[in-house]
Chain A
Amino acid sequence: MATWQIAVILVKIFLIVGLFQGAVAYMILLERKIAAWAQDRIGPNRCGPLGLLQPLADGAKMLLKEDVIPGYVNKPLYILAPAIAIVMATIGFAVVPFGPAGLDAPTVNGNPIHFQIAPNVDIGILYVFAIGSLAVYAVILGGYASNNKYSFLGGLRNSAQIISYEIPLGLSVLGMVMLARSLELNDVMSWQDRNGLGPIPAWGVFVQPLAFLIFLVSAFAETNRLPFDLAEAEQELVGGFHTEYSAMKFGMFFLGEYLHVITVSFLTVILFFGGWDAPFLGVEDTSWIAAVLKVGVIFFKVTLMVIFIMWIRWTLPRFRYDQLMNLAWKALIPLALLNLVVTMVLIQLFRGVG
């Protein structure tokens, strides 16, 4: 591997990590704003114009607070848990394309510049799922190491929830994967761009509406957001797995949760809303202007998705635990299997035509 390639990858890593961690700070501001608006309030508006400096104040508060480690915790695991949370949330971005990559990437002197940290990873979306399934360690270890019954219950609830919802999550994606004939997210996006009936693009939400719903519900459960935030249910579990955490350790859990939201929004946009696909942007257009436009389009869609996730949070109440499990095992998994089988049959039937 040439040195410049490694340099490009490092630059992309720093860019993405910095960008998304900064984005998380402003997502917290956005979440507080949306929470306020949904409750007919104004929200943070004191720190800087429109409260735009509030994230800096929040970050400073997190960093400067006293970092209490209770005396009775399992110390190595207690310290490890938030680190796992943030690491797993961050390295998931390695295969998420934030612009044209692979064959559609713009070139410099004949060398393609991929808008993706690790282009051409064959397993693409499986990698994201693998990393996502590791994120449960943060919660279960945080709950166990805290030596607190509330934390422990939160950790147990969360691990069972994440294991259950990984199944419909994976099954719902398979339909799009079969249509695009690739696990790589680039290929899924370019398939959505290349196909379609006239002006209507073949976005996943149109060709796989049921899978889209299942994916959305499971993704909410995977990110631990309302209405599936039983692991941290404030009213029952006093915050759940992060009850005993303070200062930046708590902040790291927080950061991890919001990074997860970004990942999930990216996945939803890429799989079901065409990624960088817009009516005026084709997959053949590999110029730099088109590349920048595509990055803009995908970030715009992701922002809308993030706002939607926050909007849902302030709309729906929390599920009860048995309802949560029933939803996954009795509704989502059979529906996902049905969707999978129907998709398979249709693909096999129309293969000769298309």
Chain B
Amino acid sequence: MKPDDPNLKRVEPPKLTLLEKTYLPQILGGLAVTGRHILGSAIGGKAVTVQYPEEQHVPTANYRGVHRLNKDEQGRVKCVACMLCATACPAHCIDIVGATAPEDWPDREKYPESFVIDELRCIYCGMCEEACPVDAIELTGLYDITGLSREELIYDKAKLLSVFDMTKDAEPMKTGNPPASLPVPTSPLDPEGPGPRTTVPAAQLPSRS
């Protein structure tokens, strides 16, 4: 749009009255606002502060904290080592070593022999959660992870599974598998189709509510 375009509407700043030019009414108005807040939190107890160690902050349901590796109802890791999360991760903090699944796991070909997330490198964007086709990786509401060394905060598979044990009651899995009626996208890592997986959501659905 050119500066002389006829559609351009020029707005003149409003003329201030003499009283407004002194800014005194505005200053008094501002003082009233801050005064209300000061009195409100000093006397009225309207402060929003959470006294952290004594009071624990409960994050919202969509908060993205520490990861967990979900387990299915048989207690096995749900992950199928498809590498989609590691590929999607913008911070390259996920390292998966896949291996052929044991003989008695008929529903998958591979499982993660090692699954390591560098929690210091992670930017908690949630892309891994989005990418996972089997909803094996999820971000929990845990926000207070600490450690005395960098190594401590590189979480391996056992630790990620223990996070699931820790949080499964407070935060049931956010998404189960899609219902059987919906067409399930086939992926090269899952050539057998949805067949075996339909058993899982049936068991899981009650716990989602």
Q: Measured between C-beta atoms, what is the minimum distance from A230 to chain B in Å?
A: 18
**Stretch with Cβ within 8 A of B (4 or more), from A9-17, A18-26, A39-47, A168-176:** A39-47
B24: chain A residues at CB < 8 Å are 213
Give the residue of B30, B33, B34, B47 whose beta carbon is less than 8 angstroms from that of A41. Answer: B47
Any B CB within 8 A of the CB of A57: no
Q: Considering the complex, which residues of chain B in the window 15-55 have a beta carbon less than 8 Å from any beta carbon of chain A?
A: 24, 27, 30-31, 33-35, 37-42, 46-49, 51
Any B CB within 8 A of the CB of A314: yes
A311: chain B residues at CB < 8 Å are 31, 34-35, 38
Q: Measured between C-beta atoms, what is the minimum distance from B39 to chain A in Å?
A: 8
Give the residue of A33, A34, A316 whose beta carbon is less than 8 angstroms from that of B30. Answer: A316
**Number of residues of chain A lying within 8 A (CB) of chain B:** 15
B35: chain A residues at CB < 8 Å are 311
A5: chain B residues at CB < 8 Å are none
Name the residue on A nearest B23 (C-beta): A316
Chain B at the A interface: SS class:
helix
Q: Is the CB of A40 within 8 A of B48?
A: yes
Name the residue on A nearest B45 (C-beta): A42
Q: How far is the CA of A37 from the CA of B38 in the complex (A)?
A: 5
Q: Is the CB of B31 within 8 A of A40?
A: no
Name the residue on B nearest A308 (C-beta): B31
Q: Measured between C-beta atoms, what is the minimum distance from B19 to chain A in Å?
A: 13
What does the 1/0 interface line of B103-121 toward A look like (CB < 8 Å)?
0000000000000000000
Any B CB within 8 A of the CB of A60: no
A41: chain B residues at CB < 8 Å are 41, 47-49
Given A37-B47, A42-B47, A42-B49, CB of A315 within 8 Å of CB of B41: no
B46: chain A residues at CB < 8 Å are 40
Any B CB within 8 A of the CB of A38: yes
Q: Is the CB of A39 within 8 A of B27?
A: no
Q: Is the CB of A42 within 8 A of B41?
A: yes
Q: Considering the complex, which residues of chain A in the window 36-91 have a beta carbon less than 8 Å from any beta carbon of chain B?
A: 36-42
Q: Is the CB of B34 within 8 A of A315?
A: yes
Any B CB within 8 A of the CB of A304: no
Given A42-B47, A42-B49, CB of A37 within 8 Å of CB of B42: yes
Name the residue on A nearest B24 (C-beta): A213
Given A34-B38, A38-B38, CB of A315 within 8 Å of CB of B48: no
The interface of chain A, by Cβ under 8 A from chain B, is 33-34, 36-42, 213, 311-312, 314-316
The 5 A-B pairs of least Cβ separation, nearest first, read: A37-B38, A42-B49, A37-B41, A315-B30, A315-B34
Would you list 18 pairs from A and B whose C-beta atoms are within 8 A, ordered by A residue? A36-B49, A37-B37, A37-B40, A37-B42, A37-B47, A39-B37, A40-B47, A40-B48, A41-B41, A41-B47, A41-B48, A42-B41, A311-B34, A312-B31, A315-B27, A315-B31, A315-B33, A316-B27
Other than the given A311-B34, A315-B31, 13 more pairs (CB < 8 A) read A36-B41, A36-B49, A37-B39, A37-B42, A41-B47, A41-B49, A42-B41, A42-B49, A42-B51, A312-B31, A314-B34, A315-B30, A315-B34
